[in-house]
Amino acid sequence: MKRLIVTGGGTGGHVYPALSIARGFLERGPDRRVLYVGARRGLESTVIPESGIPFRSLEVEGLLGRGVSGKARSLYLLVKALRRAGRILADFSPDVVVGTGGYVSAPVVMRAQMARIPTLIQEQNVIPGVTNRMLSRFARVVAAPAEEGLEYFPAKVASRLVVTGNPVRQEVLCASRCEARARCELGSEDIMLLVVGGSGGALTINRGTVDFILNYLREHPRLHLVYVTGPKYYEQVRHALEGAGTGDRVQVMDYHRDMPSVLAACDVYLCRAGAMSLAEATVAGRPMIIVPSPNVTHNHQEHNARALERAGAAVVISDDDFTGESLEAVLSELIYDRERTEAMAAASAARGHPEALRDILGEIDAMLASRR
Looking at 10-14, 71-75, 80-84, 143-147, which range is the least confident one?
71-75
Q: Predicted confidence band at 205 (pLDDT cuts at 50, 70, 90)?
A: very high
Looking at 111-120, 213-222, 292-301, 324-333, which range is the least confident one?
292-301
Q: Predicted confidence band at 69 (pLDDT cuts at 50, 70, 90)?
A: confident
The CA-based angle 121-124-125, given to 5 degrees, is 120
What's residue 372's pLDDT?
66
Same domain for 196 and 85: no
Contact by Cβ (8 Å): 256, 284 = no
Host domain of residue 154: 2-168+354-370
Same domain for 328 and 210: yes
Q: Is the pLDDT of residue 119 over 90?
A: yes
Same domain for 363 and 220: no
DSSP states along 42-83? STHHHHHHHHT--EEEE-----TT--HHHHHHHHHHHHHHHH
Same domain for 321 and 214: yes
Q: Is the pLDDT of residue 62 over 90?
A: no
Q: Is the pLDDT of residue 306 over 70?
A: yes
pLDDT in tens, 235-265: 999 999 998 888 889 999 998 888 999 999 9
Q: Is the pLDDT of residue 64 over 70?
A: no
> Buried (b) or exposed (e) across 13-34, using 16+ Cβ within 10 A?
bbbbbbbbbbbbbbeeeeebbb
pLDDT in tens, 255-304: 888 899 999 999 999 999 999 999 999 999 999 999 999 988 778 899 99
Same domain for 314 and 215: yes
pLDDT in tens, 41-52: 888 999 999 999
What's residue 213's pLDDT?
97
CATH value at residue 110: 3.40.50.2000
Same domain for 320 and 182: yes
Q: Predicted confidence band at 201 (pLDDT cuts at 50, 70, 90)?
A: confident
Please count the structural domains in the chain.
2
What's residue 63's pLDDT?
66
What's residue 93's pLDDT?
97
Q: Considering only CA atoms, which of 302, 301, 315 is closest in space to residue 348?
A: 315
Which residues, 6 or more positions from 265, have their beta carbon under 8 angstroms from its beta carbon?
177, 180, 181, 183, 184, 186, 192, 194, 226
Same domain for 180 and 153: no
Q: Which residue did the predictor score with more confidence, 243 or 196?
A: 196
Q: Predicted confidence band at 2 (pLDDT cuts at 50, 70, 90)?
A: very high
Q: Which residue did the predictor score with more confidence, 101 or 72?
A: 101
Same domain for 131 and 243: no
What's residue 70's pLDDT?
75
In this structure, the strands spanning 96-99 and 119-122 are parallel
Q: Is the pLDDT of residue 71 over 80?
A: no
Same domain for 300 and 201: yes
Same domain for 309 and 298: yes
Question: In the chain, what are the helix, strand and coil shares in percent, each to the nearest 5?
Answer: 50, 15, 30
Same domain for 176 and 88: no
Which residues, 6 or more positions from 21, have their beta carbon under 8 angstroms from its beta carbon?
6, 98, 100, 122, 167, 357, 360, 361, 364
Q: State the pTM of this model.
A: 0.90
pLDDT in tens, 130-179: 899 999 999 999 999 999 889 999 999 999 999 999 999 889 999 999 99
Same domain for 363 and 341: no
pLDDT in tens, 309-364: 999 999 999 999 999 999 999 999 999 999 999 999 999 999 999 999 999 999 99
What's residue 245's pLDDT?
86
